[in-house]
Amino acid sequence: MKALLELVGRHKAGEAVGIYALCSAHPVVLRAGMQEALRTGSPLLVEATSNQVNQFGGYTGMKPADFHAFVMRLADEAGFPRDRLLLGGDHLGPNCWQGESADSAMAKSEALIEQYVEAGFRKIHLDCSMACADDPPVLPEAVVAQRAARLCAVAEKTHARVGGEAPVYVIGTEVPVPGGAHEDLQELAVTRSDAAAQTIASHRDAFGRWGLEAAWPRVIGLVVQPGVEFDHHKVIDYVAPKAKALSAFIEHEPHLIYEAHSTDYQTPAALQALVRDHFAIVKIGPGATFALREALWGLAEIEREWLGDGEGSHLKDVVLGVMQARPQHWQKYYSDPARQRLDLQFSLSDRIRYYWAQPEVREACARMLNRLGDGPLPLTLLSQYLPLQYAAVRDGVLPNAVGALLHEGVGQVLRQYVAACTPETGEAITREPDLALT
């Protein structure tokens, strides 16, 4: 975590620098992140959430050690140095077991933390803000902090046993819940600075009670609500004046910056303002897989127009059919029957991301990509269905090849985060022409 600690130190010294956390398990998204990090020479922070990867497999089917091996294999294939790959765990706590008693959920949370640290994850978000079955609906701050400290003690004990770099920690949580708002957004309150102060004080006290004074300086981030969120079809953008007091407050904490969740779909200017205002860790999850889906949908249309439907992949129909047959990942989110088909495909919460690993969907993707082949696609169809990739091809900075076009769909989004986190470079906005293409 040396690179992350150094970055936090630079930010606290006055530099408007940050890092983005890529929260995805899709190989195309992760490879795109590695490509952009290779381009800039920067580290890449990849995070797994507790419902995505846990000791029971999560929705990806991967335990923490499996996810570590998976990401490292992708890094080796991409030629990305392992020592520049940072792994984090997000919302580690009782999130997956809220329907159980607090004793049961916390016991499973301890096992979760232990496996994450054993597997080599070193950025740990301690999040015990959610109520369990026998808890009151809203937990007192002191209870949240004591539970977080309890999990930190497990992480520290595990690190002492397995060795390696010491973990760094993030505390606090955002509102609404992980993954974007469940319902249509009406208004959104920025975290008050006194509430942020209370969270820090409660956790500092709890760490002391658990004998974790040595770990406290490695608490580098506090998750708050800076006033950004998205729901199915709209985005609330960052408005700096509304977060002025919150931004100023953290300047007096010697080793803490803010971590901003749900920054997906923010404008480039808003992302830069967030990092400048000390929300120096910005997270992207559904926004990256939304960009992937856009690219895949565009390629599916090119396949249909260019090669016909006869032996086609019918990718859209396959994906929607699988989603309808297995609705557990979306049915409580998309409640309006009149716009269900629209939401299934185009909702900003991107519940499609739960289905890319399904065998039928993987087969349809592979069939489409095989049909399109390695050769150039018609420029006219690129212009129609993938206009941003078309512009990059015409500018000579992107090969007209299916793999490159797909990765570029994600890369265009990630470069906005790179630019926000490293404002002294222009890497995210402009790319040098590829001389091999001219």
pLDDT digits (tens, 9 = 90+) for 126-140: 999 999 999 999 999
Kindly list the domain boundaries of the chain, sorted by start residue.
Answer: 2-284, 289-437
Q: What percentage of the chain carries pLDDT values higher than 90?
A: 91
- Count the neighbouring beta carbons within 10 Å of the beta carbon of residue 378: 12
pLDDT on residue 175: 52
pLDDT digits (tens, 9 = 90+) for 147-176: 999 999 999 999 999 999 999 999 998 754
pLDDT on residue 423: 80
pLDDT on residue 424: 72
Please check the confidence at residue 187 and state whether its pLDDT lies above 50: yes
pLDDT on residue 180: 46
How many distinct helices (H) and strands (E) make up the chain?
Answer: 15, 10
pTM of the predicted model as reported, rounded to 2 decimal places? 0.94
pLDDT digits (tens, 9 = 90+) for 371-383: 999 889 999 999 9
- Count the neighbouring beta carbons within 10 Å of the beta carbon of residue 250: 22
pLDDT digits (tens, 9 = 90+) for 57-109: 999 999 999 999 999 999 999 999 999 999 999 999 999 999 999 999 999 99
Please check the confidence at residue 357 and state whether its pLDDT lies above 50: yes
- Count the neighbouring beta carbons within 10 Å of the beta carbon of residue 338: 7
pLDDT on residue 177: 47
pLDDT on residue 1: 84
Query: Residue 188's pLDDT band (boundaries 50, 70, 90)?
Result: confident
Query: Residue 185's pLDDT band (boundaries 50, 70, 90)?
Result: low
List, in sequence order, the alpha helices (H) in 16-95.
Answer: 27-40, 64-78
CATH topology of domain 2-284: TIM Barrel (3.20.20)
**Tokens standing for residue 36:** 């952009």
One fold for 2-284 and 289-437:
no
pLDDT digits (tens, 9 = 90+) for 253-308: 999 999 999 999 999 999 999 999 999 999 999 999 999 999 999 999 999 999 99
Angle at Cα 422 formed by Cα 419 and Cα 424, nearest 5°? 100
Average pLDDT taken over every residue of the chain = 94
**Nearest of 256, 230, 231, 222 to residue 339 by alpha carbon:** 231
- The class of domain 289-437 in CATH terms is mainly alpha
pLDDT on residue 436: 41
Tell me the average pLDDT across 34-43: 96
